[in-house]
Structure 1
Amino acid sequence: MNAFTVNLKPVLELTDEQFFNLCQANKDLKFERSANGELIIMPPTGGETGNRNGRLNQQLFNWTDADGIGIAFDSSTCFKLPNGADRSPDAAWIKLERWNTLTDEEKEKFPPIYPDFVIELLSPSDSLKIAQEKMREYIDNGVRLGFLINRKSRQVEIYRQGKEVEVLESPATVSGEDVLNGFVLNLATIW
């Protein structure tokens, strides 16, 4: 099932507070919001994608716990990006010193901060083009490193600040480079 995009602007423009309340009142649905205010309704994932997403989050959270210099987030976290978009990557990580600049209220709602690192796992029903646009949006809004994992083609697209996208064919692992120094994502349980 594909995501649905609803343009509310002809009728109303949701404030950040209204968008947050809409999400809280509809907890069975997952929403994102584009930079120009379009409401994006995300379908739930299937079992295989959900399992793979859990596996990659497990690796990121385990590394984060051992490393201690950042905080990890799963796909249920929505971040307010500098361009105004509200996005929920499948996995994200933020350096603790940046996270700690937020107020308690900002941490409770949709944090107004871009992650340092994101992962998107392409579901069979996802559009590769839309996922690539989302990855570019992350990078354009400050994310330093991002992985777009395409299980069907067994490719990983690596997005970095100021660099061309690198495409890896069937890698066994992918490194967190200097953003997550020492993190290595094992793709054996993801493919």
Structure 2
Amino acid sequence: MQAITLTIPPNINVFSDDELYAFCLANPELRIERDETGHIIIMPPTGLESSFTNGELFGEVRNWNRRTKAGRTSESNGGYTLPDTSMRAPDVGWVSKERLMQVVPDELKKFARVCPDFVIEVRSESDSLKELQTKMEKWLKNGVRLGWLVDPQEQKTTIYRPDSETETKLFSETLSGEDVLVGFTMNIQEVLTY
């Protein structure tokens, strides 16, 4: 089952940020995002294997951040309102202290207007690879400095950087946080092997 996009009729205004937040609160069982045109996207829950993968990857980034205290880490329930007006929730997100200092603290209680510096999107059993690739490009256009599209089906990770061609690495290769998550490395094969 793929994500479902709801179209709001033209005679009804697109949800404001507060209305979107209220809609999400009223539907806690749904995983909801909004694209840059105002369409509401409802995504199915992932299978347990994808959830385990998301959790392990989040844990690695969170542990690095605990040591460095360089910013804040979010998991797939954390929504970001981006410059193009979309509201997206990456499987793993990290925001630097520098970007967080520009956010009014009360905004953090909702879908704050801030773009993460780093994101990980994990391809679940129900995800379209093409849609995820498009989503990664949109993350970059909104200000993400480094992104990883992790594909367990193909056992590879595609690395996204602004103004650069994508790079693909196998799960057996070590990934670097580069100049975004300074000092962070991860070998996905090691992280996901039990």
TM-score if structure 1 supplies the norm length?
Answer: 0.96
Structure 1 contact 118–146 (Cα < 8 Å) conserved: yes
Partner of 1:15: 16
* 1:97 partner letter: E
**Greater displacement, 155-164 / 167-176:** 167-176
- 5 Å matches for 1:133-148? 133-148=134-149
User: Which ranges of structure 1 fall in alignment gaps of 5 or more residues?
Assistant: none
TM-superposed deviation, 1:30: 0.9
1:2 maps to what in 2?
2
More deviation, 60-69/170-179: 170-179
TM-aligned CA deviation for residue 185 of structure 1: 2.0
Per-residue deviation, 1:161 = 1.0
Task: Report SS of the residue matched to 2:180.
Answer: coil
Aligned to 2:192: 190
- Give 2:36's aligned residue: 35
- Structure 2 residue aligned with 1:106: 107
Secondary structure at the counterpart of residue 32 of structure 1: strand
Root-mean-square deviation (CA, aligned residues, Å) is 1.2
- For residues 20-62 of structure 1, what are the alpha-carbon distances to aligned partners after superposition, in whole Å with 9 as ceiling and x for unaligned? 1000111111100000010000111111000111000010100
Task: Answer with 95-104 or 77-86: which moved more.
Answer: 95-104
Q: Residues of 2 paired with 1:161 and 1:190: CA distance?
A: 28
**Once the two structures are superposed, what CA deviation does each residue of 1:67-110 show, in whole Å capped at 9, x if it has no partner?**
11111111100100100110000001111121122112211110
Distance 2:77 2:172 in 1: 27
Aligned-residue sequence identity (percent) comes to: 39
Which moves more between the two structures, 38-47 or 167-176?
167-176
In the other structure, the counterpart of 2:170 is 169
Q: Distance in 1 between matches of 2:173 and 2:66?
A: 23
Match runs of 1:33-72 below 5 Å: 33-72=34-73
C-alpha separation between the residues in 2 aligned to 1:82 and 1:129? 23
SS in 1 for 2:93: strand
Secondary structure (helix, strand or coil) at the match of 2:182 reads coil
CA distance in 1, matches of 2:192, 2:53: 5
